[in-house]
Amino acid sequence: MFFSKKKKGNVVEILAPVDGDAVPLEDVRDQVIAQGLMGEGIAIDPINETVFAPCEGEITHISEQEHVIGMCCENGSNILIHVGINTGELHGEGFEILTRVNDYVYAGTPLLSFDLDYIKEKGLCPYVITVSPKNESYDVSIELDHGEVQANESVIFTIDEA
């Protein structure tokens, strides 16, 4: 799913991929996410329906259900952007992918859009979760895990070599 193109000494700032309210992962009502098993990062309760690239890098994965995108950042670290809790059950309905695997993108590039009302109508949580999967080679520093965030502006966490 992921690969690494390592550039030594680069700290990558991960920007909010959507507008909304930041939520600490431990407050997400999903044990895998809340316990940090997906990795370190934050959730955002979105107020818009477009997910933007939170950093410069290469698209390495798009889930078949179109709700998860993986990226390799410019320093070789990886991130996952996961839209919604249990939204894989929707089998891609309500989602539109705007990029492809192997595309090189810049922070602010639109990656996918989703129907916020549809997700809520199905009784699912629409949180947009952005995490760096656990990796001993990188340190994640959470910069902002509560309050209002703006896509392409608010730094939510940084990733640096360990």
Residues assigned a catalytic role: 82
153: helix, strand or coil: coil
Beta bridge partners, 69, equal 62, 81
What SS3 state is found at 73?
A: strand
What is d(CA 57, CA 73) in angstroms, rounded to the nearest whole number? 4
Alpha-carbon span 43 to 56, nearest angstrom: 20
Classify 49 as helix, strand or coil: coil
3-state DSSP assignment of residue 27: helix
Which tokens in the block code for residue 68?
A: 């998860």
